[in-house]
Structure 1
Amino acid sequence: MYKKRNTLISTLLLIMMLILASCSNAQNENNSSANNSNVNKTNIASINYNGKTYISLKDAFKATGGNVSIKGNNVTTTKDTDVIKLSTNNTTAYLNSSKISMSDLPKVKNKDVYVPMDFLTDILDAKITYSDGKVSLLEEVPLKYTKAFKIQYLKGGFKKITDGNNKVIILAPKGKAVPNIYKNNTIINYPTSNILVSSSTEAALLRPLDEIKSIKAVNLKEAEWEINDIKSGLKDNKITYVGDTTSPDYEKISSLKPDLAILYGGNYGLNNMMKKFDELKIPYVADNEYLEEDPLGRLEWIKFLAAFYDKEDIAEKYFNSEVSKVKAIENKISSQKKTKVAFGMVDNGKVYVPAKDSYAAKMIALAGGDYVFKDLNTKSGYITLENFYAKAKDADVLIYSSSKEYTPSIKSVLNEAPVLKDTKPVKYKKVWCLGSDYYQATDKTSELIEDLSSIFHPESFKGYKQKHYSHY
């Protein structure tokens, strides 16, 4: 029993070290897409003819930095090195001398030329959609809280993905021939429907996309999952356990022929698996949400995963909804006095605590807490028990970053560190631990923060029941 408990604790400590590690420099060096200049452009004219939508060439090319010249029936558009020529009385156009067929003749209105929307998608590096009378044009996916990946739209429905390891992948629509200019890149066909996930946080972000069903292989056993659809899938053999990430069964993985493996990279990443997957020609991407220092940055990786399912619109809507909920929580407790919060876990005389700029520390702040280790300079992830006690003894709340599976009671906490008996949170029974699904609730960021806020400010959340934390 003791050996089993040590193994469980070691596993949890590894998870904590991964998540609490401060990795801001690595994140910021990857990409600079958080401040997108290519935001959603909607002031583009359109007309409807016989139930079909046509888009203004002038507006579309102006929005993307191109030019349009109209001389009689002949139209020439230019953008960067591309030259597109077409005629208003012909459905054949030319992109750099290559023929492109239009689904219908262009329409002329007010000295402008309107073309079918699908044709515009074929000639512009952009995603064009039409809804409620408005045209939406995106050159890349807008990001607000992360700089660690990038998604750019290319002609013909292709996408250029720069993942967490700065690797470039071209996403190709299934059934569409890949142009020669992309063939030296890693090509992944989308939408994907047979994937391997290496961590539970990645799986959680697939839940709002309704794509848990696409998971066919995992690196966690059934007992380690809190997501019911995955537990039942493993039980019914619809999902295959392919070994843990330290010793995966490569033969089994190869036999499953996944469309995509979602791995995590960075300094703590699955670099050995990636090397082996390169040898086996198994397509993979680096999903590095665990390195994010902002909880909303972690959540924003849902947009990265969505690109592989062509569900960016669903991801954007869900993400914006979560951001609004978090802002509402902040506003709700903005006038309240901040609660002093200690956060950490004891093992063998050391205490693992979140770094001052970690996502956990940020969640405490968003929830109206004053993190007592906010001035701590260590980035190692641990401090001495003496240092922990010095700060925690006068805290209002202690969040013990274990779960009841590993640390079932306050007695088990005090067995590890008897000195904590004299701290204010223990005396006044203000000690909480992580719920069993805590690390599988990345998609429920607003709930995680609301739970914390209800613990810090119970007077403002009367009758509220925490979902992802447990009281000792």
Structure 2
Amino acid sequence: MRCLAVLLLYSSSIPLSSAQKATPKSPGIASDQVAIRYARGFNIRYAGKYKYVSIINPFEKKVDTIRYVLVQRGTPPPKGYSPSQVIEVPLRSMVLMSSMHVGLAAFLGAEDQIVGLANLTYVSSPNVIARIKAGKVKEIGRDQTINEEQLVTMHPDLVMTMGSPNARMDRYSILKGAGIPVLINSEWVENTPLGRAEWVKLMAALLNKEKLVNQKFGYVEQEYKRLTSLAKQVKHKPLIISGINMKDAWYVPDGNSFMTRFFLDAGGSYPWTSRKATGSLPLNFETVYPYALKADYWLNVSIMASDSKQSILAKDARYADFKAFKTGQMYDYNKRTNSQGSNDYWESGVVNPHLVLADMIKILHPDLLPKHKLVYYRQLN
């Protein structure tokens, strides 16, 4: 993930099969409401005309929850909420501080509501790129370089920012004072792929698109579970290593991370599943080396779409000792990287975990999905 390392497919880009076009409703959910089943970082409660949103801060030692009330445009808010906690819906305009947030909007066909981004370079959505070229989307900046004066002038209905250990809500006091709500999105710390994808339901609540998200996410959920059940049939679970040594550390997915969940759901085995931590685990080369010598597959090798086996070998000659290097079983998730260097895996891939899982199953157990062609992953040559 870009934020950890520096962590709807668009219908115009990847055609859907007839089976994928079927979008059954999730059972037990009213069409105008959403129920949260997988995500741990937020919740939504419906009461009368209002939607009550709770965002759980995962970075504090004590439980810290930020609360918002979503009010239908033109309706007075309930008592007990400050102006900074009130968000009028449906959103007409929004500023998004992560490319993943673009994926949420694109999944619901809401790219036209995007008026600002942290960085205009890292975008994959063709619709948003067209809006950028037309001058309809402004670059806002990141972290301490956010152009608050520009934001106040634009006055969007919402700024969606990324949660991080260093993020502080008082950082946005100027925006809140100007009546611009700021909502923290911490999807990247969810520990399951469906949990990360389910943040699209929060976007749906902001857009009054609950019926649409129930249909589309219902299909994603159904397919992910079907593929997981398919992979459970395998008797041999190939060993996977992930990542690459960067300077003084080799960052691997920790045992309770969403990427480890992908590995296991795809029918693989992974050395650090006994650990209960999330995020990334920094190791030295010598710790990874014994596993790498016998690992059947080496996944997520590099973030560079231009990398090859030889360019990887040039970084450290010891990589030639790895079993996966010798057999050529090395794969990256950067197949859909555009000319600007933006990787769609971190945009549309987040809200389409069933396609990411299908890629992994195709890599690890090709006979299970003989007709599937890799969407996000590519083999290094």
Same fold (TM over 0.5): yes
Matched, 1:264 2:264: no
Q: 1:177 Cα shift?
A: 2.8
Counterpart residue number, 2:61:
none
Output the amino acid matched with 2:350.
T
Query: Unaligned stretches of 5+ in structure 1?
Result: 1-11, 20-38, 42-127, 130-135
In the alignment, the residues of structure 2 paired with residue 184 and residue 225 of structure 1 have an alpha-carbon distance, to the nearest angstrom, of: 32
SS at match of 2:183: strand
Counterpart residue number, 1:444:
352
Residue pair 1:18, 1:290 contacting (<8 A) in 2 also = no
Q: 1:467 Cα shift?
A: 0.8
Counterpart residue number, 1:154:
47
- Cα deviation, 1:5-25, whole Å, max 9, x if unaligned, reads xxxxxxx7x623584xxxxxx
Q: How does 1:203-242 map to 2 (within 5 A)?
A: 203-222=102-121, 224-242=122-140
CA distance 1:184–1:227, shift in 2 (3 Å): closer
Q: How does 1:177-326 map to 2 (within 5 A)?
A: 177-180=76-79, 182=81, 186-222=85-121, 224-269=122-167, 271=169, 273-326=171-224
CA distance 1:173–1:244, shift in 2 (3 Å): same
Matched, 1:454 2:365: no
In the alignment, the residues of structure 2 paired with residue 182 and residue 252 of structure 1 have an alpha-carbon distance, to the nearest angstrom, of: 26
Higher strand proportion, which one? 1
In the alignment, the residues of structure 2 paired with residue 422 and residue 183 of structure 1 have an alpha-carbon distance, to the nearest angstrom, of: 60
CA distance 1:268–1:145, shift in 2 (3 Å): farther
In the alignment, the residues of structure 2 paired with residue 469 and residue 271 of structure 1 have an alpha-carbon distance, to the nearest angstrom, of: 37
Counterpart residue number, 2:35:
142
Q: 1:326 Cα shift?
A: 0.9
CA distance 1:425–1:142, shift in 2 (3 Å): same
Output the amino acid matched with 2:367.
E
CA distance 1:351–1:255, shift in 2 (3 Å): same
Residue pair 1:198, 1:219 contacting (<8 A) in 2 also = yes
In the alignment, the residues of structure 2 paired with residue 378 and residue 187 of structure 1 have an alpha-carbon distance, to the nearest angstrom, of: 34
In the alignment, the residues of structure 1 paired with residue 184 and residue 301 of structure 2 have an alpha-carbon distance, to the nearest angstrom, of: 26
Counterpart residue number, 2:4:
16
Output the amino acid matched with 2:363.
I
Residue pair 2:89, 2:206 contacting (<8 A) in 1 also = yes
TM-score with structure 2 setting the length: 0.83
| Root mean square deviation of aligned Cα | 2.4
Deviates more, 1:284-293 or 1:173-182: 173-182
Q: 1:312 Cα shift?
A: 1.6
Query: Which one has more relative contact order, counting CA pairs under 8 Å at least 6 apart?
Result: 2
SS at match of 2:143: coil
Query: Unaligned stretches of 5+ in structure 2?
Result: 8-26, 58-64, 338-343
Matched, 1:367 2:266: yes
